[in-house]
A and B are shown apart, each in its own frame.
Chain A
């Protein structure tokens, strides 16, 4: 019976090709537009570390006070060197790390090769475990380098490949920003997106999507006076000169992350932060009530607007477009089905049940849905490949086609078309055979 209905459907669709093509194009265009924008949204709202994000929190400490606070009353997004050091040394979380980003020039040991710029981060050893960094060679630099500021570096697979070819690079020397570092480890394909871990890395549009080229120990970076490449934020009356003034200042530039496995740990850490701020008040550094924050990773992403608002708005409007295409399909199917009252009347008179009519017309609609879905697949693929011209490079790099996206495209168009066909099919099934036969 199914095959018979397929045949009937095909025949009917062929009888009015213009209408059929119109419906298929509408469904295809509608589904493709929502799928393209959905793919972009999905790529950007994805959890960068699904298995860990619930345990990671970013503390913020108000070391600027009401006079320098932003209008929403939020404390600075980063920490000052003093506060970062205090939180590191307090060891109140399971793990904690201080991170800031830097751009350094790399001079290859081979004098014939031109120097180039690399981008990476200063962090503490705990970061590797906290963010589930994978290694193909070696590992972190160990506690001693963290404490004493040893010249160790962890390279990305790409940079290691670029510098040393395929050869094992562990223990080799790399000249970064005028200092020599020893390679302690080479990272695997670790690259959580968006790069939530350092303030400033999230909203940068250029060079995004690439994994960090390197990590160096936090203490080493501070000793070598390596600035944060995003820049420090200072209160307006800061008038220090030089690196040592900066370290003593209330200027903020260091991102801080703690790993807190249980809710009790989170409560305890909040308590600790408030205690720390109160203590700073007692020694006269803060003249205001503690105003701290402890946001989870996902709350943090939301707070810093990691998802460009373009992406959400275009998704919303694309959904609207699909809705219009659906309403349209309902109308066109209604026209198509009602035109065949006579045929329905004959079939009903010859003994077809209402149910048979339902099945026949829903199958016909399903065929339109499949055709629309195939067109939608094609348009979605074109759209994703051409994404660079719609969204900024960052979004475009993250978006990709996979089986789930393709499956969802096809499923959406079939389900949507069948839903659109419900009302027209119901009307078709209501056709009175006697009336139709009489009027013909």
Chain B
């Protein structure tokens, strides 16, 4: 029955070319935009969901900047003094000092990893952390091979120094990139012009820079300590014992200020839970996802509204024809089916056009912005959504059409 209706439907649509074309165009635009917007939202969500590999819930960060100019050794002694005091605070599990912090750090040192000194092009990029023997325990990192740094391996450096550490710890991700399935421990790689021996491999640690994509888990721990990176101070990372985070955030800055007042701690009370920093770091991703989500919602609502409006119009315009059809034997079900089939046909035209539009829009975005190719499964998914929405939108007008009494046919002619 439904197949037999298609011919008269197409004939009727030919009489409403203008309005039909409008709905088709609207469906096409909606599909094109929604597919791309959802894809971008998905990208952002994946970006936000990247695992840092650290014990985020119990981590606090203090930004410390010394006032005055000190030698590297003085800064190191002051930093060590601070860290020792912080570790003794009740509620603090462990602490270390770094120039940045994971995933949403204020800065990142980019390293080009090579197998040999002479190798002209890098094998992989990586980003560094300045670590010491307390880093693994503070961040909650899991050592999967080799060993941790020893206290005697940690070296204090100043800003303008460019020192190549003899030992490093790398992530498993980087180890697999460099040595595939072979063991990385004991191998030497070049991050500058001197070899650095890998002494340990940690399971997982995201790099400091939020914008890193292709090597987001290629972190290298360097056994370095700097109390003042580019006059910007350094960051103390503290792991609180379970349930003690708020306590630590309050007591740590106070403790540091009693040790030495000639320092500037962050304006925000001095210490911040890592979760707060992380939320701030990903704010623009969240905002973009929110904005695009709203655009999608308005688009779909607009499309539904448009279909309801035009279908209602057609129903009211065709009252008499519907009455005649009913009078000569069409059931209510026939009328309902007619409108649903008609809607299905129109939406299908729009979907065909919209798929092309979605691909074209994606190609444009890929050309001008760093956006990957749209996975093709977005297209049928979007199509199904629009088909369902179309059927839902036409339901009201179709029910009203089916309610038209056959008596209408006999009136006002």
| Interchain CB contact under 8 A, A105 and B303 | no
Q: How far is the CB of A368 from chain B (nearest CB, A)?
A: 13
- Inter-chain contacts of B81 with A (CB < 8 A): none
Q: How far is the CB of B81 from chain A (nearest CB, A)?
A: 19
Size category of the binding interface on chain B: 35 or more
| Interchain CB contact under 8 A, B230 and A22 | no
Give CA–CA (A231, B110) in the complex, Å: 12
The listed residue with most B CB atoms (<10 A of its CB), out of A239, A332, A335, is: A335
Give CA–CA (A236, B111) in the complex, Å: 8
| Interchain CB contact under 8 A, A103 and B232 | yes
Q: What is the chain A residue whose CB lies nearest that of B66? A: A105
Interface assignment of A378: CB less than 8 Å from any CB of chain B? no
| Interchain CB contact under 8 A, B193 and A321 | no
From B133-141, B285-293, B402-410, the one touching the partner chain is B285-293
Kindly identify, within residues 113 to 145 of chain A, every residue whose CB is under 8 Å from any CB belonging to chain B. 115-117
| Interchain CB contact under 8 A, A239 and B36 | no
0 or 1 for each of A4-36: is its CB under 8 Å from B? (1 = yes): 000000000000000100100110011001000
| Interchain CB contact under 8 A, A67 and B306 | no
Q: What is the chain B residue whose CB lies nearest that of A205? A: B284
- Inter-chain contacts of A47 with B (CB < 8 A): none
Known: A313-B365, A328-B26, A331-B310. A226 touches B193 (CB 8 A): no
| Interchain CB contact under 8 A, B65 and A117 | yes
Interface assignment of B51: CB less than 8 Å from any CB of chain A? no
Known: A102-B231, A323-B29, A339-B316. A234 touches B305 (CB 8 A): no
Q: What is the chain B residue whose CB lies nearest that of A231? A: B230
Interface assignment of A351: CB less than 8 Å from any CB of chain B? no
Q: What is the chain B residue whose CB lies nearest that of A234? A: B162
Q: Please report whether the interface of chain B is mostly helix, strand, loop or mixed according to DSSP.
A: helix
Residue count of chain A within 8 Å CB distance of chain B: 74
Give CA–CA (A110, B343) in the complex, Å: 77
Kindly count the residue-residue contacts between A and B in the assembled complex, taking CB atoms under 8 Å apart. Answer: 197
Interface assignment of B302: CB less than 8 Å from any CB of chain A? yes
Interface assignment of A320: CB less than 8 Å from any CB of chain B? yes
Q: How far is the CB of A120 from chain B (nearest CB, A)?
A: 11
| Interchain CB contact under 8 A, A229 and B230 | yes
The listed residue with most A CB atoms (<10 A of its CB), out of B37, B262, B305, B365, is: B305
Q: How far is the CB of B216 from chain A (nearest CB, A)?
A: 18
Known A310-B284, A328-B303, A332-B310; further 14 A-B contacts with Cβ < 8 A:
A22-B305, A105-B66, A105-B67, A115-B264, A177-B68, A231-B109, A237-B192, A237-B193, A241-B161, A316-B365, A327-B306, A328-B22, A339-B313, A388-B287
Seen from chain B, the residues whose Cβ lies within 8 Å of a Cβ on chain A are 18-19, 22-23, 25-26, 29-30, 32-33, 36-37, 40, 65-69, 106-107, 109, 112, 120, 158-164, 191-194, 229-232, 262-264, 267, 283-284, 286-288, 290-292, 294-295, 298-299, 302-303, 305-306, 308-310, 312-313, 316-317, 361, 365, 368-371, 412
Seen from chain A, the residues whose Cβ lies within 8 Å of a Cβ on chain B are 19, 22, 25-26, 29-30, 33, 37, 67, 102-105, 107, 115-117, 177-178, 205-206, 224-232, 234, 236-243, 245-246, 308-310, 312-314, 316-318, 320-321, 323-325, 327-328, 330-332, 334-336, 338-339, 388-393, 423, 427, 440
A-B contact pairs, 23 of them (CB 8 A): A29-B298, A102-B231, A103-B231, A107-B262, A205-B284, A206-B106, A238-B192, A239-B162, A240-B160, A241-B158, A246-B159, A309-B369, A310-B287, A314-B291, A317-B36, A317-B292, A317-B295, A320-B32, A321-B298, A324-B26, A324-B29, A334-B19, A391-B291
